[in-house]
Amino acid sequence: MTEMTRRHLLGAAAATAVAPLAAAPAFATAPVAGKQVPTYYRSKLGDFEITVVSDGARPIPLPPRFVLNVPNEEVLKAAEAAYMPKGTVFAPFNPIVVNTGSKLVLIDTGYGPIAPTVGMLPQSLAAAGIDPKTIDIVLISHMHGDHINGIKNPDGSLAFPNAEIKVPAVDWTYWMDDGNMAKASEGFFKASFGFNRKIFGDMKDKVTRFDWGKEVAPGIISVETAGHTPGHTSFVIASGSSKLFFQGDVSNAPALFLTNPDWQIMFDSEPDKAIATRRRVYDMAAAEKMFIAGYHFPFPGLGWVEKAGTGYRLVPAPWNPVI
């Protein structure tokens, strides 16, 4: 067997670069496409069909304190070790459509077109052959902009006009309270209150508030995972003996926050509670080998969590062309 060394690789690259001059092939030059395609990923869960429908992804340039209890240099080192674009933390957004057989349920709705590489849920739904008018129920894990903004189109009309919109009752009480908004710190938290008013301000009577431990759609149970927001909710989606745990933002990017579950991301409302929730959820997930959907995990965000070192690691589900 030939021994592969760095010199071999560089040598091979140089040879490739020279080759066309030596023997010009008679192939036409294809223009590069230069853009990504709308993206979705389908799989089966018991009798249910799950479609992860990408809203896009976004490199986040770090604000001064992205993780409250760790300097940015350390965060960027971890991001770089995970091959994220230099100087940023890379966050995908993965809403999910669950077809239960009787209802079409969308869990979280993406960011809306606030930046060029997000707000792509409508295109991804179209590519997946899912008509927004056929969505029966929209479930919201928590009331942050990147999960609720897609409820409305940019012109203010409802993106899912026939859907019942269901949000965690505790989050509703917190985010729709004007007193809380007045007290909110500038930046992310003020902006989050603003998003909630923009989306929900004129539909207070049309939104269903749900409690934890309830069946919020056929086969889908709401589970308390508070800390990231006061009402942060996960969903257990179950059909037959198959289960999927939609974890919302129990952690953001796994390369950062599964590896370092005690890091306090600046978006957490109650950082200590968020850490306790994270450890509780992942200890259980690891013990039960629970199948997990991560809204901010690398697309399509499906996999398992194992204990690793002082934290955890994600084992992504292998891509499967068969449903």
Using alpha carbons, select from 259, 217, 260, 245 the residue that is nearest to residue 302: 245
- Is residue 253 within 8 A of residue 263, CB to CB? The reply is no
Q: Does 108 bind Zn ion (CB under 5 A)?
A: no
Strand pairing partners for 212?
none
CB of 249 or CB of 268, closer to Zn ion = 249
Using alpha carbons, select from 238, 208, 213 the residue that is nearest to residue 224: 213
| Residue 301, φ and ψ in degrees, nearest 5 | 80, 20
- Is residue 143 within 8 A of residue 193, CB to CB? The reply is no
CB of 94 or CB of 99, closer to Zn ion = 94
CB of 200 or CB of 257, closer to Zn ion = 257
Task: Tell me which of 111, 112, 135, 146 binds Zn ion, using CB under 5 A.
Answer: 146
Using alpha carbons, select from 75, 88, 267, 109 the residue that is nearest to residue 188: 267
Residue 249 CB, shortest distance to Zn ion, in Å, is 4
Using alpha carbons, select from 229, 243, 115 the residue that is nearest to residue 167: 229
Question: ∠ CA(265), CA(182), CA(190), 5° rounding?
Answer: 35
Residue 164 CB, shortest distance to Zn ion, in Å, is 22
CB of 55 or CB of 146, closer to Zn ion = 146
- The secondary structure element, H or E, covering residue 179 is helix 178-183
CB of 160 or CB of 295, closer to Zn ion = 295
CB of 93 or CB of 282, closer to Zn ion = 93
CA atoms lying within 13 Å on the CB side of residue 3: 3
CB of 171 or CB of 249, closer to Zn ion = 249
Residue 199 CB, shortest distance to Zn ion, in Å, is 15
Applying CB under 5 A, the span of 33-41, 58-66, 204-212, 243-251 interacting with Zn ion comes to 243-251
DSSP letters for 232-296: -EEEEEEETTEEEEE-TTSSS-HHHHTTSTT--BTT-SSHHHHHHHHHHHHHHHHHHT--EE-TT
Using alpha carbons, select from 292, 258, 296 the residue that is nearest to residue 118: 296
Using alpha carbons, select from 281, 283, 315 the residue that is nearest to residue 297: 315
Q: Does 249 bind Zn ion (CB under 5 A)?
A: yes
Using alpha carbons, select from 89, 133, 125 the residue that is nearest to residue 109: 125
Number of residues that bind Zn ion (CB under 5 A): 2
Residue 12 CB, shortest distance to Zn ion, in Å, is 43
Applying CB under 5 A, the span of 104-112, 119-127, 144-152, 186-194 interacting with Zn ion comes to 144-152
Residue 241 CB, shortest distance to Zn ion, in Å, is 30
CB of 48 or CB of 195, closer to Zn ion = 195
Applying CB under 5 A, the span of 97-105, 140-148, 271-279, 285-293 interacting with Zn ion comes to 140-148
CB of 229 or CB of 260, closer to Zn ion = 229
Applying CB under 5 A, the span of 45-53, 69-77, 145-153, 182-190 interacting with Zn ion comes to 145-153
Residue 91 CB, shortest distance to Zn ion, in Å, is 8
Residue 57 CB, shortest distance to Zn ion, in Å, is 12
Residue 295 CB, shortest distance to Zn ion, in Å, is 6
Residue 74 CB, shortest distance to Zn ion, in Å, is 22
What's the rounded Cα separation, in Å, for the pair 31 and 6?
Answer: 31
Question: ∠ CA(318), CA(142), CA(113), 5° rounding?
Answer: 75
Applying CB under 5 A, the span of 5-13, 52-60, 202-210, 245-253 interacting with Zn ion comes to 245-253
Q: Does 268 bind Zn ion (CB under 5 A)?
A: no
Residues in the site for Zn ion, rule: CB under 5 A? 146, 249
